[in-house]
Structure 1
Amino acid sequence: MNLPEVIKNLIKAQNAHNPEDYAACFAETAVVHDEGKTHRGKVEIRQWNQHSNQEYQTSLKPQDYDQTKRGDLLTAEVSGDFPGSPAILKFHLTLDNNLISSLKITG
């Protein structure tokens, strides 16, 4: 599977439970939508990831990656301390200048 470098870095940071490296994958004005909440900017994204790591200890295992005109789509097996683990989730991404500007996580 041919993943962009920033997506490789995102997965590596998540699997290491490193919120600083995770947030570094995003543009300053990036937006993340997950579990009905919106997180704007690197500071909020780092805080969201840190909280998520503490609560769920999730790790990502990429299953598929598609680049389309509407954006990129990473399908990953997500495992951790949550009901229904592992789960297959979709990461809808917009990349700009080798950084993530938008991420929406869906089931």
Structure 2
Amino acid sequence: MNDEELPAVITRYLTAHHARDLDPALACYTDDAVVVDEGRTYRGHDEIRAWLSRSANEYKYTIELTGTERVDDRHYVAVHHLEGNFPGGVVDLRFRFTLTDFDSDGAHIAELVIEP
């Protein structure tokens, strides 16, 4: 699977996230979404916005999508290779997405877990 085979909401989110464009990225989440990153949990739009803003400005790095996996209709994994000025300088991260069921607006991200 490649990024063209990911659900549209994930592709929109990754594009906005990589561009560090907060509003379009946040629009991909449900109101009560959960993000887990670096062992910390962020709940709802306010906490997720703060996390996105901090992560966009804390380090300078490049990010490349290196693989994707469809687990089932609601669960997808996108693997990214990052290089930058963060501790260690290089890491491969798995972005594990849980989507809502599709409705008239499509699906939204209910949960995102980012881990090595």
TM bucket normalised to smaller: 0.7 to 0.9
- Of 103, 109, 114 in structure 2, the residue corresponding to residue 100 of structure 1 is 109
TM-score normalized with structure 1 length: 0.88
Partner in structure 1 of residue 10 of structure 2: 7
Alignment of 1:11-30 (within 5 A): 11-30=14-33
Within the alignment, does 1:34 sit opposite 2:37 as a pair? yes
Q: 1:89·1:106 contact (CA, 8 Å) conserved in 2?
A: yes
- Of 86, 89, 93 in structure 2, the residue corresponding to residue 89 of structure 1 is 93
Within the alignment, does 1:73 sit opposite 2:77 as a pair? yes
Structure 1 residue runs without a partner (length 5+)? none
CA distance in 1, matches of 2:79, 2:88: 17
Deviation at 1:58, TM superposition (A): 4.4
Cα RMSD (Å): 1.7
Identity %: 34
State the Cα deviation string for residues 61-95 of structure 1 (Å, max 9, x = none). 21111111482111111233312333110111101
Structure 2 residue runs without a partner (length 5+)? none
CA distance in 2, matches of 1:62, 1:26: 20
TM-score normalized with structure 2 length: 0.81
- Rg: which structure is higher? 2
Number of positions where the alignment pairs a residue of Structure 1 with one of Structure 2: 107
Q: 4+ residue runs of structure 1 moved beyond 2 angstroms?
A: 57-60, 78-81, 83-86
CA distance in 1, matches of 2:60, 2:45: 20
Partner in structure 1 of residue 51 of structure 2: 48
